[in-house]
Amino acid sequence: MTVRAQGPDSISSTRAGVWVLAALLAPFVLRGAALLDSRIELGIPDLHGFLSDLGLGLLVAAVSAAATRRSRWLGVGLLVLWVVGGQGNYEHVVTNGANLSLADAGNLADATFVLGSALRPTAPGLLVSLLAITVLLAWLALRRGRLYFPWLLIGSAGLIVTAVSLSWSENLAALAWRQQHFVAENVRRATRDPLLPLGEAELRTGDLRGRPWLDLGRAGRNVLLILVEGISGAHLPAVTAANGVELGFALPQLDRLARENVYYTSFIAQQRQTNRGQYALLCGDYPKLLSGSPKMSEHLVAGEITCLPESMAAAGYQTVYLQAAPLAYMLKDQFMPRIGFSAVHGDEWFEAAYRRSRWGVDDRAFFEQSVRMVDQLQRSGKPWFLTLLTAGTHHPFTLPRDYRAADGSTGFRRAAAYADEALGSFVRALERAGVLEQTLILITSDESAGIQAGADDLARTISQSWGFMIALLPERTRRRIDDPYMQLDVPISILDYLGLSRAASDFTGRSMFRHYTAGRMLAFGNTYRRIVGALNPAGHLLLCGEDFEGCLAWETVDGLLFSRERRRMEPVAPSEIEELRRVVRRTLRLRESAREIYELIGQRVVRVLDELVDEQLVFGGQFLFVPAGTRVEVEIDVELQGNDGKVSIYHDLTSRGDVYHYSRRVADMRPGDGFRVRYSYTPEQPLEKLENRFMVRRLSGRNLSLNFKTARMRLMPRAQVDTAERAGFELHELTITRTE
């Protein structure tokens, strides 16, 4: 028998093939895992997705192979980063049902999300396996010395495949992550998503012309608004049955409360992200339906608007806001007092927890201690308005490690089951205390995580706008409401119930306690999917990209937005697209301030939490859109106070989540030490999701606090910036003072 030895060309080709395999492994495996997690049958969109992965994978193979000519470790490091980035996108797909947008990646780059998601992945075994196999394949390709790789040929092939993939028209009815690698999708967005010119400010016109279905004018009744993070109407059997769709998963306590009280089968969550949904719920105004600076942030510097707490306070109500998470995140420590809450509390208010993370206390501890707040308000003798926001169902899901859901579920489903049990116990405690007899209780969510598995792509997309609403009336009314409502209807509904019709005239929307015979347009957006949509008066469901290209329309049955019974309409009427465009333009509120100054934190003294072992988020989450040429000026002056101990503090300025314009880990500080920094940044290109973050980690000691003398960010438009000043970053001052 003759044995032929492999020649040098065969060896080189084999090693090059192994290197390509190392680059393609992660995107292909992670896409397959996401499809399995979502229980999706393969179709044409997935062919598109795998083609996109192939093109990007070949490009990464070529670039990383070329990098090995300078350093083997550099080439391997690029492959490792490729795997980690893919895993991060997988986490986002599993959690939010959409590819990771670089404009939204600040949530994953934020210290809270890094330790919660990146360092605690939902599938750690998958991540470790992919990293190990990728590094092993790279070692096999490099172990015989320098890698002879046809990087130019492979790179050209990758460019061609990627170009073909990008030219393939996106189908809005299919999930975007199935059709494109997240890098390719972000490239498409960057080249195709023009911002609409601003139109007139939204006209606030409340509609109370409907026929009441209960006696209104219940002056002096207390009001409790409960927001359960991310829960969807798809999780309530009573609601899904009314829409004729399969249940995502059941939350029995919420479903019981729905069936025993008043529940709404078509309630629209108008945007993704807490600060957008909360804005609509508390201010009775459209959130910004396109991606960009959220109105909650803009409200602090641009214009005035009347919100529900202010109207309630004017009517003699005590107004209190209580949430589990840190208040400074998303500027809520300043926004909530500004809109009329007389008392505002976050994670520091809670003295005990079964589990505490940087998102605050778990939902059981949150609701148990919220009873104490209700007791305080009851004893005051004045009517009150209390808003509660949970955080336990926010990734990475804060709940005791030993908690086991009845159905053995994990992840979001397990956290939702824990929140459901805690909420059920909370309502029973209020009932025992006699609170239900004199209180209007509204239970809803800030946004909808939607259906994550077991449905077609269109149903999953629409379900991310599927909120829920349960009303517990002192009259103990039972009723199912099929008329569609949305988040901005909540303030006018509360005021209508209380008989405060004069105050209600300041708000947009319709009262949920009235029946209307005429339809209206109900518009919503999804900043993760970069789409806008609406249910118009004719009962037509319309979906468009943020650039209003590739719009699709369906005719619904009886106007049920979330029902699967719908018929595709072709072509889409241009008049319907134009009407949606007009509504979207009117949700983009004009900035009235020529020079915007953001106070980054309202509370000047921040306690360093003794019981938190992770980094503590002090402030962040502004997520601003900054036009090109705008000068961003930052000034922070902080001192550590206390008797003894040591902390590390971290500060950075980022945009699009992964672009760091300034980042610094300050050396360990002891009580009496101070940190002062002043810098400016002028971008040549527009910035999305600009975020200014500050974190602290306690290393030793107790009873420490940060005293902020200054913490502000100023945005100066291009017209006010000296043209002689160069674009880019400039450090003006950096001082670290030490105690002797």
Distance CA 214, CA 257 (A): 19
Taking a C-beta distance cutoff of 8 angstroms, is the pair 291, 196 a contact? no
Other Cβ atoms within 10 Å of 27 Cβ, number: 26
Q: Using alpha carbons, list the distances in angstroms from residue 352 to 274, 344, 391, 699.
A: 24, 18, 15, 21
What does the chain come to in residues? 740
DSSP secondary structure code for residue 459 in this structure: H
What end-to-end distance do the CA atoms of the chain give, in Å?
A: 83
Structure tokens at 58: 């070949």
pTM (global) more than 0.75: yes
Backbone phi, psi, residue 284, to 5°:
60, 35
Secondary structure of residue 344 in the 3-state scheme: strand
Secondary structure of residue 69 in the 3-state scheme: coil
Residue 32: the pLDDT is 86
Distance CA 182, CA 185 (A): 5
Name residue, tokens 């990087």. 151
Considering only CA atoms, which of 667, 657, 653, 659 is closest in space to residue 711? Answer: 653
Other Cβ atoms within 10 Å of 593 Cβ, number: 13
DSSP secondary structure code for residue 117 in this structure: I
Distance CA 500, CA 11 (A): 82
Q: Where are the alpha helices (DSSP H) in 537-631?
A: 574-586
In the beta sheet, which residues pair with residue 674?
Answer: 639, 737
Considering only CA atoms, which of 292, 658, 221 is closest in space to residue 440? Answer: 221
Considering only CA atoms, which of 594, 584, 718 is closest in space to residue 195? Answer: 584
Name residue, tokens 């459901």. 420
Q: What is the distance of C-alpha 256 from the center of its chain?
A: 28
User: Burial of 518 by CB count in 10 Å (0-12 exposed, 13-18 middle, 19+ buried)?
Assistant: exposed
Name residue, tokens 């999706």. 40
Domains in the chain, CATH or no CATH each: 8-192 (no CATH), 217-512 (3.40.720.10), 596-737 (2.60.120)
Backbone phi, psi, residue 530, to 5°:
55, 50
Considering only CA atoms, which of 530, 507, 590 is closest in space to residue 307? Answer: 507
Structure tokens at 408: 């053995």
Structure tokens at 161: 């495949």
DSSP calls for 245-289:
---S---HHHHHHHHTSEEEEEEE--SSSHHHHHHHHHH-SPPPS
- The DSSP bridge pattern shows strands 552-556 and 540-545 to be antiparallel
DSSP secondary structure code for residue 329 in this structure: B
Other Cβ atoms within 10 Å of 132 Cβ, number: 11
Name residue, tokens 């975007």. 176
Backbone phi, psi, residue 469, to 5°:
-145, 125
Distance CA 723, CA 713 (A): 21
- Return the amino acid letter for 208: L
Backbone phi, psi, residue 23, to 5°:
-80, -30
Considering only CA atoms, which of 691, 600, 611 is closest in space to residue 328? Answer: 600
User: Burial of 369 by CB count in 10 Å (0-12 exposed, 13-18 middle, 19+ buried)?
Assistant: middle
**What's the CA angle centered on 557, arms 554 and 559, to 5 degrees?**
85
Query: 3-class secondary structure for 347-359?
Result: HHHCCCCCCEECC
Q: Using alpha carbons, list the distances in angstroms from residue 591 to 304, 582, 722.
A: 11, 18, 21
Backbone phi, psi, residue 292, to 5°:
150, -170
Distance CA 544, CA 18 (A): 42
**What's the CA angle centered on 703, arms 701 and 706, to 5 degrees?**
100
Distance CA 212, CA 516 (A): 9
Distance CA 390, CA 366 (A): 7
Q: Divide the 740 residues of the chain into consecutive groups of 10 and give the mean pLDDT of each group.
A: 44 80 90 81 82 89 88 89 88 77 49 46 82 90 79 86 82 78 79 50 73 91 97 93 83 96 96 93 92 84 83 95 92 91 94 88 96 94 96 88 83 92 97 95 94 77 93 95 95 95 84 94 90 91 88 86 85 89 80 69 84 81 84 91 90 75 78 90 84 88 90 80 68 83
Taking a C-beta distance cutoff of 8 angstroms, is the pair 561, 174 a contact? no
Which sign does the torsion angle of CA 374, 376, 381, 382 carry? negative
DSSP secondary structure code for residue 233 in this structure: G
Residue 303: the pLDDT is 60
- Sorted by sequence, the CB contacts under 8 Å of residue 202 that are 6+ apart come out as 285, 286, 508, 586, 587, 589
User: Burial of 196 by CB count in 10 Å (0-12 exposed, 13-18 middle, 19+ buried)?
Assistant: middle
